[in-house]
Amino acid sequence: MLDQLDQRLRQLIKEKHWNKLTNIQEMSFKPITNGHNTLIIAPTGYGKTEAALFPILNKMLHEDVKPVTVIYITPLKALINDLLHRINWWSSRLGFLVNRKHGEVPQKEKNLRLKKIPHIIVTTPEGLEIDLDWASRFREYYKNVKWVIVDEVHELVSSKRGTQLSILLERLKSFIGYDFQRIGLSATVSDEEKVAKFLFGSSERKMSIIKLQDTRNFEIKIRKIKNDSIMWKNAAELIHQLIEKPTLIFTNSRFSTERLYEELEKLGNTEIYVHHSSISKDLKNLAEDELRNGNAKAVVCTKTLELGIHVGDIKKVIMLRPPTSVSSFLQRLGRSGHIVHGIPKGEIVCFYDFDVMEAFALYISAIKGKIEKPIIDDGLDVVARELLGMILQYQKINIDDAYNIIHNSYIYRNLKLSEFMELIEYLAKNNIIKIDNGYLKLGYNFFKIWRFNKDSKSGWGKEFSEFFSLINNDETFTLKYNGVTVGEIDAVYVYKHVRANDIIRISGKLWKVMRINLNKSTIDVTPVNEGEGEIPIWKGESTSKSSIIVNSIKNIIKNFNKYYPVMKNILDKDAMDSLLKILSEYKEQSLNIPIDNIIIVEKREDDEWIYSTLIDEKIANTLSHILLYLVIKKYTLNAFARSSIYGFSIKGTPIDLLKEVVNMDDNKIRKIILKSILRSPLYIATLKEIQPSFGKISKINLKEDRFLIKEALRQTLKRYFSIKKTLEFINKIRRQEIRIIYVDNPTPLSEAVLSHAQIRPWLLDLNVSIYQALKGGAYTVNELSEVLGISPKSLENKLKQLRRANNKYKVTSFVDVDSRENRWCLYEDFISIVKSEEYYSSFAPLNQNEIFIASLKSGDNQVEVIFKPKDLLNSPDEILRKIPFNNIEEVKVREAIDTSYQFSQKYYHVGKDIIIYLLLNAVAYLQSLKYS
């Protein structure tokens, strides 16, 4: 291949002291030179960047190219500086200018782009979005683009940023009127053709997939620490011994990163740094620079360092607890041995017995080449955002043109015009766009949401720069004590697990949750000394675990003897003992490990029902939400569920609710699943994430916002649940293909289920739900229970609390004389209900001359008022003058001759403004009893 390169390029290769090109560089040259859209698949460290660049630079040297000629897109801003240096080394020596574009580039450098237009620009999806939407002068140079290279395609394909990019590439093609060549660089993926189609979209060029099989071996050791009250200290002490300078230490969350770093610091470790999405740019750069310069002993990080940021030669990778997918495991491990034929070297440190099983399952899956298939995100919020981007770009756009551009994306190839029009109509209703003679223009709400003035930002307002990004910024809740920030927690974790009065540990201190403010994303806390009931935040850290891990664990258990020699080589003694302990505990109870066709059911003393079985996490999640919904509807709000690949659990029911679910028909189960998801914290998180894209800045209305609710529900379902697989699972129980075994003693899998954090119902907006349900009407507790899906007992307790409220959520009740049932209504609606024809008889005494006594209490004060019903009707002011207080805690009404209080009627927490009507209600009810 070298002889086909221009002499100038060959000379540069010689300067690099490269004797030959790598296999992937050789293999990619011909298809790229021939103009094919090309997907290059190879492990990290094989020179994929040069594999794409060499044939392009070779052609640029012999063609009349004008800037901008090449757009190089990478998902991480942190990669840009590395790539700029790497690409510039070749390009500048060949006379081509290279520049970069991302949010943190200094303004001086941004201005230089217009003075010296680069031939090659290195940017992110967000950078391309900004240029197309907003950079009216610079985007004209994009009309010269001949090639687009997309790096780390495997990282983008399953994210909203990847979906955004797929539309951006179609927008770019439409804008320049040329079918530019597309080249993707990827680590090993499961479905290469799907990834290629995702990237190449509507391009009519020939397609080539160039794949280098990863034949590299890797070294891995799985270790187990003692799981006790000083677990984090144990982990830090072991990791301290394992570090070989320089080491990357991966955790599964920001919380775990900070917690481990805190313990490593206590051991006197220096030259150790932290790297995760919440720390400042300067701290991230410091960690990366210290690694590159050989000064860092180790960096404790999250997935932010999974991708190919050049940080020098990493000697070893340590993973604190196994990652949740095979692809993530390989990415992390591949950060060491980062050269051709280099051997990655890693350790996995486990907390739990089943961490060991997961870690070994990842290892077995990796050596067998089993990797997760990409799940492409087809959210309509991305379509909405790109539609707005096109309007920004062109000021107005024809509806048909906009639809055709989006429909050209591989992801939206099946989007119907009717669905697209429904989206447009909803956006127009929210005044984020307006429709004008078949064209779309910006609506007046657009700049209310996406604001230039940071100081005016409030409520739903966002900075204008946020418009261009679909990065899920892992929304957080800020913890505040007396107005001072003491820490942050991931929003999804809060929605799922945190409630008022909980105890949480942040920054080494214990805090009690006093109030959660959903609108401001803040949590008011107060310090406490004791941590009874403390929520371990790190337990709720993981995303859903790959089904490949589940199937691999099943395979390992079934063929334990076959894998035993391999285990002995890579598991330390404590890790090996933990696996043998799992097997022996089941053997001692004469039980099979519940894998393919068994569910073991245990009821704990605290009434938590545990259903242990190795299961797809989406099925477990769906089943746990079904049970949680039923418990709340039938029994209590004081309920929670758990969900994991080891099974699921439910607290708050006296009976085995799974039996009840199995006996339901599939249609009823489907309806319950949808209702349960609408109450799920995961749905709330999704709704909050996508609302701004649809221009929805006010409260959600069930009728008016059906489109948004439906889309949030669809995305939540796709991401976290599976109706189809759950119904298949339930049908297997019905057909007795899955056996249910009841036991009294704890089993290892049930302990694994209990190690997961509680999922609790998100009912902080219950006041709003009750308000909306009651508005304009009067309902019994049972009627409301049906509407809201909350047990009558729990609902009645909540209504009694709302009687005390001093805001619009305040409620009151009266007796429906016709049905003799208690009806609840909003306090603000009470008088209009009194005057309605529907409840006329409930406030119309049968005999106006009988004498009654009303006993009224307020604090320590009490007064008795003697009255006749006609007094209430003819001279109410006289009655009111006899009541010395405005807020009445208790009202008791009886007939004067009923000294035993055998027949009386009571009301609680009412105001003087409605007391006359309540006295009329009491009289009408008591007389109806008397005369019936």
| Residue 565, domain member (yes or no) | no
Do 667 and 795 fall into the same domain? no
C-alpha span between 697 and 580 (Å, rounded): 55
pLDDT for the residue 511: 84
Residues belonging to the chain: 932
pLDDT for the residue 486: 80
pLDDT for the residue 521: 79
Give the global pTM.
Answer: 0.83
Domain extent for 720? 589-754
Q: What are phi and psi of 646, to 5 degrees?
A: -100, 0
Q: What is the pLDDT of residues 70-118, one digit of tens each?
A: 999 998 877 787 888 899 999 999 999 999 876 666 666 666 777 889 9
Instruction: Tell me the mean pLDDT in the region 742-752.
Output: 94
Residue 243's alpha-carbon distances to 246, 299, 305, 335, in angstroms, are: 8, 10, 17, 15
Most confident of 31-45, 416-430, 538-552, 775-789: 416-430
The count of structural domains within the chain is 5
| Residue 423, domain member (yes or no) | no
Judge whether 513 and 504 are in contact, CB under 8 Å.
yes
Least confident of 154-168, 574-588, 790-804: 790-804
Of the chain, the percentage scoring pLDDT greater than 90 comes to 63
Q: What is the pLDDT of residues 281-314, one digit of tens each?
A: 778 788 888 888 888 999 999 887 877 666 768 8
Q: What angle do CA 856, 860, 863 make, to 5 degrees?
A: 30
pLDDT for the residue 901: 64
C-alpha span between 142 and 126 (Å, rounded): 16
* DSSP annotation of 810: -
| Residue 239, domain member (yes or no) | yes
Do 183 and 106 fall into the same domain? yes
Tally of CB atoms within 10 A around 671: 11
Do 644 and 708 fall into the same domain? yes
Query: Strands 345-350 and 219-224, how do they pair?
Result: parallel
> CB-based contacts of 453: which residues, under 8 Å, 6+ apart?
none
Q: Identify the band that residue 173 occupies on the pLDDT scale cut at 50, 70 and 90.
A: very high
pLDDT for the residue 286: 85
Do 197 and 250 fall into the same domain? no
Judge whether 408 and 202 are in contact, CB under 8 Å.
yes
Nearest CA to 247 out of 174, 190, 318 is that of 318
Do 663 and 812 fall into the same domain? no
Instruction: Tell me the mean pLDDT in the region 615-620.
Output: 96
Residue ending a domain, choose from 367, 397, 430: 367
| Residue 237, domain member (yes or no) | yes
CATH number of the domain to which 7 belongs: 3.40.50.300
Q: Identify the band that residue 216 occupies on the pLDDT scale cut at 50, 70 and 90.
A: low
Do 774 and 734 fall into the same domain? no
For the residues of 153-188, what is the DSSP string, one character each? HHHHTTSHHHHHHHHHHHHHHHHHTS--EEEEEES-
pLDDT for the residue 537: 58
Residue ending a domain, choose from 186, 211, 236: 211
Do 177 and 229 fall into the same domain? no
Do 234 and 207 fall into the same domain? no
In the predicted structure, residue 172 carries a pLDDT above the cut 90: yes
Do 223 and 89 fall into the same domain? no
pLDDT for the residue 453: 65
Do 204 and 228 fall into the same domain? no
Q: Is omega for the bond preceding 68 within 30 degrees of 0, making it cis? A: yes
| Residue 88, domain member (yes or no) | yes
Tokens at 322, concatenated: 């196994």
pLDDT for the residue 605: 85
| Residue 489, domain member (yes or no) | yes
Do 717 and 866 fall into the same domain? no
Least confident of 106-115, 487-496, 745-754, 791-800: 106-115
| Residue 121, domain member (yes or no) | yes
Q: What is the pLDDT of residues 639-666, one digit of tens each?
A: 899 999 999 999 999 999 999 999 999 9
Least confident of 501-505, 681-685, 741-745, 844-848: 501-505
pLDDT for the residue 456: 45
Place of tokens 């940023």: 161
| Residue 870, domain member (yes or no) | yes
Which has more confidence, 642 or 465? 642
Q: Which ranges constitute the DSSP H helices of 211-297? A: 231-242, 254-266, 281-292
Do 868 and 726 fall into the same domain? no
In the predicted structure, residue 57 carries a pLDDT above the cut 60: yes
Residue ending a domain, choose from 502, 521, 540: 540
Place of tokens 């491990």: 333
